[in-house]
Amino acid sequence: MLQPQFPIPDAEPIVIRGVVFDMDGVLTDTLEFHYQTWQRLADEENIPFDRKANEALRGLSRRDSLMAILGDRMLGEAIVEEMLDRKNRYFLEFIQTMTQDHLLPGVLDLLQELRSDGIRIAIASASQNVDLVTRQLGLTDWVDAITNVYNVPHPKPAPDVFLYAAEQIGLPPHQCIAIEDAESGVKAALDARMWVVGLGPQERVGAAHVILSNLNSVRWKDLLDKIQCCR
């Protein structure tokens, strides 16, 4: 398994001035919405798909997800585009129903603490719907920058979206903590040389510097202590 990297030498104090959140699975749980919409598309196309297959798509871009579902089925670009659009149409129906009630437990409290501590906040997502979902969740005024993998050359697991988010909030990556729930996202943030908090089971986010099950009741000071202790 990928080992955590330590962004700055042992002797230097760790200074954190920014937090970069992944969105799906960290701020809100859209996994079920993605499952329902991929399942609908797969059923329409007679392609086998289930919840287990959906779990493997966590953190992947829409196109990479479709490629994984299609496996070795070779389809023309126009057909692929149509499927991506159709999947997103189904997904947008779910997004319209989202409100602040869809924030995961602990998120608002943590954002409040970050704000009062002067920490810059960004979202770095694989979702093309990140602006819309952020708005539905009532988070637009809470964040200093919103980026997604379509703003950069390479999607997660490449580090591009985290590097871009750090640039957007004007900080070097080693002064940022990334919070991620996907294996591909943890790899992306580690390769960006950020401090990484992984949310979920060891098998999925074990490479992160700090592993938590979720953000419920997580205090900013405790998180900073855990980061200081992890090297």
Cβ–Cβ under 8 Å, residues 130 and 146? yes
- Cβ neighbours of residue 226 under 8 Å, at least 6 residues apart? 197, 210
From the annotation, which residues make up the binding site for Mg(2+)?
A: 22, 24, 180-181
Is-contact 190 172, C-beta < 8 A? no
- Closest residue to Mg ion, based on beta-carbon distance: 25
Cβ 128 to ligand G6P, closest distance in Å? 4
3-state secondary structure of 27: coil
- For ligand G6P, which residue of 41, 53, 60, 110 counts as binding (CB under 6 A)? 60
Known catalytic residue at 222? no
In the complex, minimum distance from the CB of residue 58 to Mg ion, in angstroms, rounded to a whole number: 6
Q: Copy the structure tokens of residue 75.
A: 């389809």
Please state, in angstroms and rounded to a whole number, the distance separating the CA atoms of residues 161 and 43.
32
Query: In the range 16-45, which residues lie near ligand G6P by CB under 6 A?
Result: 24-25, 34
Residue type, 74: M
Interaction between residue 57 and ligand G6P (CB under 6 A): yes
Give the binding site for Mg ion (CB under 5 A): 22, 24-25, 59, 181-182
Give the binding site for ligand G6P (CB under 6 A): 24-25, 34, 57-62, 65, 88, 91, 125-129
